[in-house]
Structure 1
Amino acid sequence: MPFHENDRLRYYRFDIFSNAVTQAVFTRRGGVSPAPWHSLNLGGSVGDDPAHVAANRIRVFQAMGCKPESIHDVWLVHGTDIVYADAPRPLDQPSAKADIIFTDNPNVSLFMRFGDCVPILFHDPKKKVIGIAHAGWMGTLRGVVGAAVEGMRSHYGSNPKDIVAGIGPSIGVDHYEVGAEVVAQFQEKFGTEADQMLQTRNGSAYLDLWASNSIQLQKAGVDQIQVSGVCTACHLDDWFSHRAEKGKTGRFGALMALQA
């Protein structure tokens, strides 16, 4: 089963990654935050008490056997910039602005927050590298997964055929209506491939983030891909969804670390 529980926390784990990697995408269950962020809110910029967010983050790290001070996270900006985390982020320093983060250091725990966008986890078992990318419609359009694969190749010497990727819980195509300007940009960028990324129903257009990123991963040479197929907007008992909850909600988190 992809869902697991530990100390009241409920989280999703990919089957595709080896036991050399600690990895989890946490649901909203098992935290201390009140409504509308109930309860495991991990986002510090959505109006929740920072003390609650900090307590939730510590709870997540401890549940996975990771030291809270091992964290390296980023400030998401819907781009394709990469942070190569050689060490934990000094907690007295602000997070760098980026949407991709990698490490080959077992003493670093990568951490990223989401509210409908796609968490995409990476592992190269040969080079012993892990990473997390953040892909909303804008990052998907800009090619964040292609940038991530190229970053693994250029920085660590990874062969795309060795890379394992997991596309995590996020808003599904049935709930992700987009406007004509987004449709036009995808059609211009991806040509006929956009037909697999977009759906039209009753005169409205919907974007499939899972298909869009799967296609781009395959084009980058990554064949080992697992798609969770879990829609955040469909399962509000488990997930925060910025769109389904009209912005009044929290953020769930993805954590990844190499086993020492």
Structure 2
Amino acid sequence: MAFTNGPVPLYTFASFDDPSIAHGISTRAGGLSEGPYASLNLGSSVGDQTARVDENRARFAEVLGFPQRRLVTTPQVHGNSVLVVDESNADGALAVRADILITTRPGYLLMQRFADCVPLLFWHTRAQAVAVAHAGWRGTALGVAGRTVATIQAQTGAGPVGLRAAIGPSIGPCCFEVGDEVVAQFPDAAGAVHEGRRGRPHLDLWELNRRDLVRAGVAAAHIEVARVCTRCEHETFFSHRALGYPAGRFGGGIGIRPSHAA
């Protein structure tokens, strides 16, 4: 990832560096929120003041070149439900429960919120489609990454050639201690689970999502992994494991710039 400092600091991925695409991962800096939400909290369901969250979202959208009214986000359910965003449903997205957002339409900034779960960003260079997905361990077990790829292909008729994906900052295998009941949800987790210092299993969500992307047809060379642990870097990113409740949420966003309609 590359870091851009400014009023709203952002991390970006080299594989998405294109004039037609705007994307970024926010940090805790650059917003109005205070206390456990300081300062760029983008989550509206964690107890922060609505006016501050709205302003924070406006700042995030603006730094990526979009007005706030074109920022699309949904209530997350730790599942694999999809919303394909277009003119017919963008304004009503807040009534739809979905962890995967996809669009082929220019002018919409798709955003999901995170505090240890895995941000997944997608761009199909040939079909000019983009997506953002929220993958906690439940979503990872449900195949969020592969479902996103399959839906992009179904919507565009394009194959996997040209698909690029990025796995953003999230809790790493160094810190993601889980119980055996969680490991049991991943029968093919060999190499993605190891014993931690306390003798309990640690799960590698980065590797599990990378494998899912490869199985779905994304070339390994076109998958960029941030390898930044949010629990370790909780001064930069919100982390539920490190900060507990309440805590804010950082954002992962991507959109096709309005000036690049197909």
TM-score using structure 1 length: 0.94
Question: How many residues get paired?
Answer: 253
Question: Map of 1:154-193 to 2, 5 A cutoff?
Answer: 154-187=154-187, 190=188
SS of the aligned residue for 2:184 comes to helix
Partner of 1:140: 140
The CA distance in 2 between the partners of 1:74 and 1:49, in whole Å, is: 18
What amino acid does structure 1 have at the position aligned with 2:17?
S
Q: CA deviation at 1:229?
A: 0.8
Partner of 2:234: 236
Pick one of 202, 220, 223 that aligns with 2:216. Answer: 220
The CA distance in 1 between the partners of 2:94 and 2:256, in whole Å, is: 24
Partner of 1:113: 113
Partner of 1:257: 255
Q: CA deviation at 1:122?
A: 0.3
Moved more, 153-162 or 139-148: 153-162
1:207 corresponds to 2:203: yes
The CA distance in 2 between the partners of 1:158 and 1:98, in whole Å, is: 23
The CA distance in 2 between the partners of 1:166 and 1:18, in whole Å, is: 12
Is this contact kept in 2: 1:78–1:136, CA < 8 A? yes
Cα-to-partner distance string for 1:91-135 (whole Å, 9 max, x where unaligned): 6x6331111111111121111111110110000011000000111
The CA distance in 1 between the partners of 2:201 and 2:246, in whole Å, is: 24
Unaligned runs of 5+ in 2: none
Is this contact kept in 1: 2:80–2:98, CA < 8 A? yes
The CA distance in 1 between the partners of 2:29 and 2:94, in whole Å, is: 27
Partner of 2:8: 9
Unaligned runs of 5+ in 1: none
Q: CA deviation at 1:89?
A: 2.3
The CA distance in 1 between the partners of 2:133 and 2:190, in whole Å, is: 24
The CA distance in 2 between the partners of 1:250 and 1:59, in whole Å, is: 16
The CA distance in 1 between the partners of 2:117 and 2:225, in whole Å, is: 14
Partner of 1:26: 26
What amino acid does structure 2 have at the position aligned with 1:152?
I
Partner of 1:83: 83
Partner of 1:48: 48
What amino acid does structure 1 have at the position aligned with 2:68?
P
Q: 1:177 to 1:67 in 2, by over 3 A?
A: same
The CA distance in 1 between the partners of 2:252 and 2:240, in whole Å, is: 16
The CA distance in 1 between the partners of 2:178 and 2:228, in whole Å, is: 19
What amino acid does structure 1 have at the position aligned with 2:226?
S
Cα-to-partner distance string for 1:126-146 (whole Å, 9 max, x where unaligned): 100000011100000011111
The CA distance in 1 between the partners of 2:120 and 2:94, in whole Å, is: 23
Cα-to-partner distance string for 1:57-116 (whole Å, 9 max, x where unaligned): 11111112111111221111111111110127226x633111111111112111111111
Q: CA deviation at 1:184?
A: 1.6
Cα-to-partner distance string for 1:176-200 (whole Å, 9 max, x where unaligned): 100010112212xx2xxx1122111
SS of the aligned residue for 1:166 comes to strand
TM-score using structure 2 length: 0.93
Moved >4 Å (runs of 4+): none
What amino acid does structure 2 have at the position aligned with 1:89?
A
SS of the aligned residue for 2:94 comes to coil
- Aligned CA RMSD, in angstroms, stands at 1.3
